[in-house]
């Protein structure tokens, strides 16, 4: 992973960071790095995620999914961090085994998805640390019912990824299902490189060792200076730009296969840093498509955002055929990859020309190793940013209110939050 | 379409709009409405989009696609506004005819897409008003080449949607391809309800008349008061919240089928309003999934955003089977739809409880009529907001710089913008 901060400097952009301010910030990065290193050494909650390249056991994952070697498809039933890491890998890497995700409780979506998947030939992975996540358990009950209805023995096609105890662990014990353990001390949004993110990848035939080797490279590059560590460079400059007014971070990969990566990043960034009144708002974008959608705003709207431009340096290319269409001769003999790279560089330069801060993030190519490095790097960037903001990176207390309200509304107990729903202020226009 | 502004008022939220301020704003809405009505009466550039329910000819669309009645799939080759309207309808409505979109020039994506689509059985719609959009024409050349390689007569499977003259029009004349006209005065992002958005829907067998009837209802509801028109209510309150600090508008439909709608909205909002240093930044979200991703930030991060919560009032539902899993008995006997609705209301209330402004937008159900009304309503909301901001809603000048730079980089002419790319400031960390 390479990070280029040039277009985030204040001689290019406004907001921008003065070179001298980066030097001062680097002293804070050194302190934060010590805190992170301590947290890792003690396997503290959250920091433990940065030890996953050493602590995860890929053999245990391969062994747990071995009964599903015949599967044509893998269906992950999970939500948020229980789905996004696996989905990021699945949508980035090609496989003959299709990956599906039940990460929402929309009944129409569930129906169409179940119409698409042959449950007899699928592996179903139910992912919930607590075993009580309402959406995930509701979907599991529906899927199990659908397997029954299709004459499929659900105990033959299901495994669980869950904590050491709880509903799903008990279920696995009772029915002798393969069970993977969600690692202790690793919040869902930091679990892509654990059992949670890797089981789906294993069934799809991806190289877990290469993913973890890339992540290890990311871990090795963590250093006490933002000028030595790409991950810290990204985290530190994002923080510094936010402090100077870039409240929005538009994550814009130039690769369709990284579209879900941007979604994963959005969870990582929002849920980790969005608290105590601070935190950058992640916006998901996709190059080159969103040049025709978001770029107008990024260049000419409020000076409240930075753009993160991510690309693989290498990709399989495809030539553009020669043409005699007037005005398009220049495209012929070129390639789609060259066009995409030209657009990447043009967009980067166009933002700089308008004085809009942007950061370039490059990986070698979209493969297992580089993805491991990218995911690890962004997690480390996020942890560093959390230290700089001074927030508790690894908790998400603000989502509990709504969970209690929803449970109360469904008759799952007395919750004052549910009563508040009825008091809604209305001003309806129809 | 119903819009509930209750949770945007300042007795609920901060930022929030005082009820008295809404009354003052309504006077400006009345003026803006007159301007809009004048623009429509004269079919002025941009305003003409709001006349589409009357001016579009669904028979011409049905007739142009009639040769593809046998198609198993429709492949739209277009980018930005030339793809997003059609994609919004295609991803919202079910069909036996698959819809694919080539809206990016990623060579790896193009390859996997062409592997998936049987070109002999597909209808290919090439959409570009000018006939010179680099991405679209490059992709068309590649697709045409792939058809040749597969022994498919491309002239039998291709039609174009383009302006009255240019490359694609000439091509259609030369090879006797069906050709649909992009309407004059309608920018791409406002073209969902025209030939541009509706040809794909026609091939998929959707009811164009119902879509246009819904749009007509939307047009009929435009009135000189935000208290009488849901579209104006949405546009006016979004503007007012932005003026009070809600620089981000998180568009969060509670329906998987409306995920692309949020993307379409993001283009509409960003490209129309993002100029002269103003404009809300649209953020795409999805309920209930993003409660496990973005809600922490929305509730506890900076007070710089509003959340737009969109849902269909009716949907096909699916029961959740009874269960004896401890702590989950409350889910059994309920349904996925009830769970989703409970989460919608819980999220709305949880934002209000944290004093975060949010707006509820409801449609009857995800069907042709309601989609027509929703798309029209959001377009009208955007036009109104543009009047209130005082921007030129229908242009996107800031994207031209990058287009020239990319063209120059590819050897398509001398452009000083391309030279600027080489001058990039770098500060690389690796």
Say if the Cβ atoms of A345 and B279 lie within 8 Å.
no
CA angle A323, A326, A331 (to 5 degrees): 45
* E-strand stretches of A261-415: 281-284, 305-312, 358-363
Active site residues of B: 271, 292, 403
B327 pLDDT band, cuts 50/70/90, is: confident
Residues of A in contact with B1 (CB under 8 A): 430
Do residue B299 and residue A257 have CB atoms under 8 angstroms apart? Answer: no
What are the start and end residues of each CATH 3.40.50.10490 domain in chain A? 2-36+212-389, 57-182
For residue A322, pLDDT over 90 is answered with yes
Contact A104 B286 (CB under 8 A): yes
- pLDDT recorded at residue B333: 87
Is B30 an interface residue toward A (CB < 8 Å)?
A: no
The pLDDT assigned to B326 comes to 87
Q: How many residues does chain B have?
A: 430
For residue A288, pLDDT over 90 is answered with yes
**A373 CA to centre of own chain:** 13
What does the pLDDT look like over A190-207, one tens digit per residue? Answer: 999 999 999 999 999 999
Q: Which of B289, B298, B311, B374 to mutate to test the interface with A (most CBs of A within 10 A)?
A: B289
Q: What is the pLDDT of residue A333?
A: 87
| Cβ–Cβ under 8 Å, residues B360 and B313 | no
* Cβ-based contacts of B277 with chain A (< 8 Å): 300-303
User: Is residue A249 a contact partner of residue A269, using CB atoms and an 8 Å limit?
Assistant: yes
CATH class of B2-36+222-389: alpha beta
Say if A411 is an interface residue toward chain B (CB within 8 Å): yes
Which tens digits make up the pLDDT trace of B304-315? Answer: 999 999 999 999
Write out the DSSP string of B370-422: HHHHHHHHHHHHHHHHHHHHT--TT--GGGHHHHHHHHHHTTSS--HHHHHHH
Three-state secondary structure call for residue A221: coil
Residue A6 DSSP code: G
B68-81 per-position pLDDT tens digit: 999 999 999 999 99
Q: Give the whole-number percent of chain A exceeding pLDDT 70.
A: 100
Could you tell me which residues come within 8 angstroms of residue A20 by beta carbon, excluding any fewer than 6 positions away? none
Confidence label for A324 from pLDDT (cuts 50, 70 and 90): confident
User: Is B37 a residue whose pLDDT tops 90?
Assistant: yes
The rounded distance, in Å, linking the Cα atoms of A390 and B366 is 44
Give the helix/strand (H/E) hosting B125: strand B122-128
* pLDDT tens string A328-356: 999 988 999 999 999 999 999 999 999 99
Residue A276 scores a pLDDT above 90: yes
Residue A178: pLDDT above 90?
Answer: yes
Model confidence over A207-237: pLDDT tens digits?
A: 999 999 999 999 999 999 999 999 999 999 9
State the pLDDT at residue B221.
96
pLDDT tens digits along B340-390: 999 999 999 999 999 999 999 999 999 999 999 999 999 999 999 999 999
Q: Judge whether residue B257 has pLDDT over 90.
A: yes
Cα gap A363→A369, rounded to integer Å: 10
Pick the residue from chain A with its C-alpha nearest to B171. Answer: A325
B419 chain-A contacts, CB cut-off 8 A? none
Q: What is the mean pLDDT of residues A289-309?
A: 97
The pLDDT tens digits for B206-217 are 999 999 999 999
> Is any Cβ of chain B less than 8 angstroms from the Cβ of A428?
yes
Q: Which of B 241-300 lie inside 8 A of A, CB atoms? A: 247-248, 254-257, 263, 266-267, 270-271, 273-279, 281-284, 286-289, 291-300
Domain with CATH 3.40.50.10490 in chain B: 2-36+222-389, 57-182
Which stretches within B221-332 are classed as H helix?
230-243, 259-273, 295-300
Whether pLDDT at A327 is above 90? no
Query: Minimal Cα–Cα distance from B139 to chain A, Å?
Result: 8
Is omega for the bond preceding B222 within 30 degrees of 0, making it cis? Answer: no
Of A275, A276, A274, A281, nearest to A241 by C-alpha is A281
A343 and B284: CB-CB below 8 Å? no
Look up the CATH superfamily of A57-182: Glucose-6-phosphate isomerase like protein; domain 1 (3.40.50.10490)
For position A192, what pLDDT does the model report? 98
A334 at B interface, C-beta within 8 A: yes
What percent of chain B is modeled with pLDDT above 90? 98
Percentage of chain A beyond pLDDT 90 is: 98
pLDDT value at residue B175: 96
pLDDT-based confidence at A243, cuts 50/70/90? very high
Q: Is A226 on the interface with B (CB under 8 A)?
A: yes
The helix-helix angle for B58-65 and B195-203 (nearest 10°) equals 50
Q: Do A267 and B292 touch (CB under 8 A)?
A: yes
Average pLDDT for B75-104: 98
State chain A's maximal CA–CA distance in angstroms: 72
Nearest residue, CB atoms, A406 vs list B226, B294, B346: B346
Mean pLDDT of chain B, nearest integer:
97
Residue A326 has pLDDT above 90, yes or no: no
Q: What CATH number was assigned to the domain covering residues A2-36+212-389? A: 3.40.50.10490
DSSP β-ladder status, A179-181 and A248-253:
unpaired
């Amino acid at each position: 992973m390479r990070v280029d901060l040039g277009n985030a400097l204040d001689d290019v952009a406004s907001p921008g960071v003065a070179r001298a301010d980066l030097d001062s910030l680097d002293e804070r990065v050194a302190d934060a790095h010590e805190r992170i290193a301590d947290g890792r050494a003690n396997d503290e909650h959250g920091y433990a995620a940065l030890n996953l390249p050493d602590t995860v056991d890929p053999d245990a994952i391969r062994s747990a999914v071995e009964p599903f070697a015949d599967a044509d498809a893998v269906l992950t039933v999970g939500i948020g961090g229980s789905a996004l890491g696996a989905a990021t890998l699945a949508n980035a890497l090609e496989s003959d085994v299709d990956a599906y995700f039940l990460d929402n409780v929309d009944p129409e979506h569930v129906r169409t998805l179940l119409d698409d998947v042959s449950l007899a030939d699928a592996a179903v992975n139910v992912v919930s640390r607590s075993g009580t996540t309402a959406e995930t358990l509701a979907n599991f009950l529906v899927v199990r019912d659908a397997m029954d209805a299709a004459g499929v023995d659900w105990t033959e096609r299901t495994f669980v990824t869950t904590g050491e105890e709880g509903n799903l662990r008990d279920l696995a014990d009772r029915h002798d299902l393969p069970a993977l353990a969600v690692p202790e001390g690793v919040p869902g949004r930091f679990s892509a490189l654990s059992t949670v993110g890797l089981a789906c990848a294993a069934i799809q035939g991806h190289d877990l060792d290469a993913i973890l080797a890339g992540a290890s490279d990311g871990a090795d590059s963590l250093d006490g200076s933002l000028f030595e560590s790409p991950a810290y460079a990204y985290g530190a400059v994002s923080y510094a730009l936010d402090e100077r007014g870039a409240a929005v971070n538009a994550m814009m990969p130039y690769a369709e296969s990284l579209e879900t990566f941007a979604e994963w990043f959005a969870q990582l960034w929002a849920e980790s840093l969005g608290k105590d009144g601070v935190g950058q708002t992640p916006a998901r974008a996709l190059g080159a498509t969103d040049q025709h959608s978001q770029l107008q705003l990024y260049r000419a709207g409020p000076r409240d955002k930075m753009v993160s431009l991510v690309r693989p340096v290498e990709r399989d290319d495809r030539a553009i055929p020669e043409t005699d269409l007037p005005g398009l001769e220049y495209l012929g003999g070129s390639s789609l990859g060259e066009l995409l790279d030209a657009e990447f560089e043009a967009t980067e330069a166009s933002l700089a020309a308008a004085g809009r801060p942007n950061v370039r993030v490059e990986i070698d190519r979209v493969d297992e190793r580089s993805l491991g490095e990218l995911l690890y790097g962004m997690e480390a960037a996020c942890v560093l940013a959390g230290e700089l903001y001074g927030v508790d990176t690894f908790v998400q207390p603000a989502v509990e209110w709504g969970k209690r309200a929803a449970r109360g509304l469904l008759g799952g107990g007395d919750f004052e939050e549910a009563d508040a729903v009825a008091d809604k202020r209305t001003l309806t226009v129809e």
